[in-house]
Amino acid sequence: MQGVYFRAYTRDQARLLGLTGWVMNRRDGSVEAFFEGEKSRVEDMVDWCRQGPPTAHVDHVELHLGEFRGEGDSFEVRYG
């Protein structure tokens, strides 16, 4: 769901966990994110996404696992 600062909260949580990657809104109203880092911290981040920030309502989390790609050195919010 958009409009509840989900991206900003996600960015802050990912940075707190030392993850790299990105988060962005999709046109259909969903949020897409890419996380890289230590496996247990990525798992913690996915668990956080299942709840989201206090103002969010999370209906579904779809997870796709892949190999480490080393895409960046920070976590950012991407725009359209």
Q: Where are the domains of the chain?
A: 6-78
Q: How confident is the model at residue 1 (pLDDT cuts 50, 70, 90)?
A: very low
Q: How far are the Cα atoms of 32, 42, 48 from residue 38, in angstroms, in the given order?
A: 20, 6, 15
Catalytic residue numbers, as ranges: 7, 25
Task: Dump pLDDT digits (tens) for 22-63.
Answer: 999 989 888 999 999 999 999 999 999 999 888 888 888 998
pTM, whole model, 2 decimals? 0.86
**Domain at 6-78: CATH architecture:** 2-Layer Sandwich (3.30)
